[in-house]
């Protein structure tokens, strides 16, 4: 039983990744933090493709909860293997550093960077034993170029990029690839309150991207066709200069 785990799979880019990976034939573990109704909606979209799905509620930033819920699932499902991991859960708490609270700094770093660590630690050993796997980290344009008003988010995503490159080299010989995807502006709940009219003028394609467009790239990195690509960051941003 081969599974793909998508953190933050209940909404937005994560949901589109779940559907794409289901189309590729993977059973899907949908992680979410609190929005059960959205996770159930994702599950119904996955089931259309005839694969199994399970919902796993945990906060990726909470190491104990990740160990309990995800580690518990791995212990109980010995015959199953998480072959694809998409570290997608992330939040924004935008403000200038001069007015940023410790909480705003911490929660963003804890969700993206610490969350990636917490989840990858649970999944990695079985993947190493199986000598095959795909790890895909959802980063951001902000992590490549830095964005004013997003010192916390830029730091979190840049940290994930460094970890992607280092881990890729550690485990390449076990046939496990680790790559990062850096979206620009994608139409999801996360970007809902941004001034779209103003921002599209900065984008050569004059539109926000769709979650499904990001999911196509996830599908490629998850597939065997991407077998000789590892440690890379691929931008998907409608031509924004990075
Ligand atoms: P979104 O629509 O706000 O959805 C966020 C998802 O992450 C939800 O499924 C949410 O679960 C989950 N989540 C948040 N905190 C979590 C936590 N602590 N533990 C577990 N799950 C958690 O976001 P999105 O736009 O799809 O973004 C997905 C990823 O792409 C993020 O890493 C984001 O930084 C990155 N990204 C997005 C854009 C963009 O323009 N949208 C651009 C660049 C990068 P609940 O439903 O339970 O709340």
- Give domain limits for the chain: 2-236
With pLDDT > 70 as the criterion, what percentage of the chain qualifies? 100
Q: Which residues contact 154 (CB under 8 A, 6 or more apart)?
A: 140, 142, 143, 146, 147
- Angstrom distance (rounded) from CA 132 to CA 160: 21
154 lines ligand 1 (CB under 6 A): no
For the stretch 211-224, pLDDT in tens is 999 999 999 999 99
238 lines ligand 1 (CB under 6 A): no
Homologous superfamily of 2-236: NAD(P)-binding Rossmann-like Domain (3.40.50.720)
Both tokens of 92, joined, read 């924004």
180 lines ligand 1 (CB under 6 A): no
With pLDDT > 90 as the criterion, what percentage of the chain qualifies? 96
Q: What distance in angstroms lies between residue 131's CA and the mean position of ligand 1's atoms?
A: 29
- Across the chain, mean pLDDT equals 97
pLDDT band at 241 (very low <50, low <70, confident <90, very high): confident
- Angstrom distance (rounded) from CA 167 to CA 1: 25
Q: What distance in angstroms lies between residue 73's CA and the mean position of ligand 1's atoms?
A: 22
Active site residue 3: no
Does position 196 have pLDDT exceeding 90, yes or no? no
Does position 164 have pLDDT exceeding 90, yes or no? yes
pLDDT band at 197 (very low <50, low <70, confident <90, very high): confident
By the 10 Å C-beta count (0-12 exposed, 13-18 middle, 19+ buried), 209 is classed as buried
188 lines ligand 1 (CB under 6 A): yes
Q: What is the pLDDT of residue 20?
A: 98
| 158 closest CA partner among 170, 145, 149 | 145
Q: What is the pLDDT of residue 59?
A: 98
Q: What is the pLDDT of residue 215?
A: 99
**Is the CB of residue 15 less than 8 Å from the CB of residue 188?**
no
Q: Which residues contact 17 (CB under 8 A, 6 or more apart)?
A: 6, 9, 86, 88, 214, 215, 218
79 lines ligand 1 (CB under 6 A): no
35 lines ligand 1 (CB under 6 A): yes
For the stretch 71-119, pLDDT in tens is 999 999 999 999 999 999 999 999 999 999 999 999 999 999 999 999 9
Q: What distance in angstroms lies between residue 173's CA and the mean position of ligand 1's atoms?
A: 31
CA distances from 53 to 27, 33, 56, 66, 87 (A): 6, 17, 10, 18, 17
Mutate to test the pocket of ligand 1, among 39, 89, 189 (most ligand atoms within 8 A of CB): 89
Given the residues 132, 153, 228, 241, the one annotated as active site: 153
Phi then psi for 31, rounded to 5 degrees? Answer: -90, 145
Q: What distance in angstroms lies between residue 33's CA and the mean position of ligand 1's atoms?
A: 10
32 lines ligand 1 (CB under 6 A): yes
| 27 closest CA partner among 46, 8, 48 | 46
Does position 230 have pLDDT exceeding 90, yes or no? yes
Q: What distance in angstroms lies between residue 25's CA and the mean position of ligand 1's atoms?
A: 24
For the stretch 25-62, pLDDT in tens is 999 999 999 999 999 999 999 999 999 999 999 999 99
The residue contributing the CA closest to ligand 1 atom 46 is 35
Q: What is the pLDDT of residue 166?
A: 99
Q: What is the pLDDT of residue 242?
A: 75
The residue contributing the CA closest to ligand 1 atom 31 is 90
């Amino acid at each position: 039983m081969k599974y793909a785990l998508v953190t933050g799979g209940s909404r937005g880019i994560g949901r589109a990744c779940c559907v794409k990976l289901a189309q590729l034939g993977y059973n899907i573990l949908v992680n979410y933090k609190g929005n059960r109704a959205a996770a159930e909606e994702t599950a119904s979209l996955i089931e259309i493709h005839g694969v199994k799905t399970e919902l796993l509620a945990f906060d990726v930033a909470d190491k104990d909860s990740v160990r309990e819920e995800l580690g518990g699932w791995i212990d109980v499902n010995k015959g199953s293997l998480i072959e694809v991991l998409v570290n997608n859960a992330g939040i924004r708490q935008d403000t200038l550093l001069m007015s940023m609270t410790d909480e705003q700094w911490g929660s963003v770093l804890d969700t993206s960077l610490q969350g990636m660590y917490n989840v990858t630690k649970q999944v990695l050993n079985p993947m190493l034993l199986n000598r095959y796997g795909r790890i895909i980290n959802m980063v951001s344009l902000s992590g490549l170029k830095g964005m004013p008003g997003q010192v916390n988010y830029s730091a979190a995503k840049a940290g994930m990029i460094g970890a992607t490159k280092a881990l890729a080299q550690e485990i390449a010989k076990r046939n496990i690839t680790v790559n990062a995807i850096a979206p620009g502006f994608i139409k999801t709940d996360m970007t809902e309150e941004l001034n779209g009219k103003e921002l599209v003028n900065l984008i050569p394609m004059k539109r926000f991207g769709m979650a499904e467009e990001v999911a196509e790239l996830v599908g490629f990195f998850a597939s065997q066709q991407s077998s000789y690509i590892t440690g890379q960051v691929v931008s998907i941003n409608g031509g924004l200069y990075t």
